Structure 1
Amino acid sequence: MAVVLFASSSTWAQQSSTRMVKRHVATVLFSTLGGAVLGLSTLPFYGEPQEHTDNISVGALLGFVAGASYAAYAASKPEVPVRNDYGFGESIQNKKALAVNAKAMPLVQLNFEF
C-alpha cells in the first residue's frame, strides 16, 4: 500500500513540475515576443525606420530578461498546498450538498391575475 502511495505521489509531483516548467518557458517566450513587438511598434516614429531596426532586438532582449526574471521569481516561491475545505472547515461533499439543496430567491417575480 505504501509503495502505491509513494509511486502515485511521485508521479503527481513529476506532472506538476513538468507543467510548471512549461508555464515558465511559455512566460519567457511570450514576454520575448511581446518585447519584440513593442520594439517593432517604435519604428513608425522615426523618419528612417530602416536605420532603427535594432529596436526590435533590444525589445526582445528586454522582454527575455523580464520574462526570465519573473520565471525565476515564481520558481523560487514555495508551493502553496491545496486544501479541500476551501478554508471554511467544510468538505467538498458538504459544499455540494448545500449547493444542491439551496434555493435561490428570484430576482424578479411577476404575478398575473385575471
Structure 2
Amino acid sequence: MLIHTSIEQKLLAAFKPVFLDVINESANHNVPAGSESHFKVVIVTPAFDGMRLLQRHRAVNAIVAEELAEKIHALALHTYTPSEWYEYYAEKPPVSPKCFGGSKIDKDA
C-alpha cells in the first residue's frame, strides 16, 4: 500500500474529518523520483474542538506513528476545527515551508 493511502485511511478512520488533504511533497525535495518521504496533511475536524495546536499535532502523529518511525522524513501538519478553517483558509490551503535539507528547485536556480 502506498504511504499516502495509508496515512489518508488512518486519518479518515480516526478523525472523521470534514476536509482532508494528504499531499506528497517529495518531488519538491532532493529525493529520488517516486519517493514518499515528505508529506503535508491539511485536516479539518470537529475532533480538534477545545484542543491546543500541540495536542492536535500529537493526536495526528500518534495515528501515523508507524509511518513516521519507518518511512516518512517530514510531515507538515495543518490542523483546524471547522470554524477555524472556514474563517481563515476555506479559499486556499496553507503552503508548507521549504525543506532545510535542500530543494531540487533551489539547486536549479
The structure with more helix, counted as a fraction of residues? 1
TM-score range, shorter chain: under 0.3
TM-score, normalising length: structure 2: 0.25
The structure with more strand, counted as a fraction of residues? 2
- By relative contact order (CA 8 Å, sep 6+), the higher-ranking structure is 2
Give the structure with higher Rg (CA): 1
